[in-house]
Homo-oligomer: A and B are copies of this chain.
């Protein structure tokens, strides 16, 4: 996996996992890889994966069965959509519109409306 320069790796992995849930590549209640396994797959320190998992656990997108592993929460997909929609509409969209205006890019040029 390739990482963006200026965003924490653990957050990028976190987003990647959310995408897997949104596309239903990972399904509700499914067990996800252990920190060591995912770490070695991605070429990343297991501590970093642990941090990702903690972060997702705080958001109640995954949960931990001690001694067993981490599992996708059963309402994970809905939760992600709710969180990300709110964040997108509230924080990101205004910045996008502002930037497009300054750069003279019209929505009709880049979106199919």
Point out residues on A near B: beta carbons under 8 Å. Answer: 9, 19, 22-23, 45, 66-67, 81, 84-85, 88-89, 92-93, 96-97, 99-100, 102-105, 107-108, 110-113
Contacts and interface: CB of A to CB of B under 8 A. Distances in A.
Given A9-B66, A66-B9, A96-B96, A107 B102 contact: no
A14 B23 CA distance: 37
> How many copies of this chain does one complex carry?
4
A22 B102 contact: yes
Contact of A81 (B81, B92, B103): B103
B99 A107 contact: no
A100 to B, nearest CB: 8
Contacts of A108: 113
Contacts of A96: 92, 96
Contacts of A66: 9
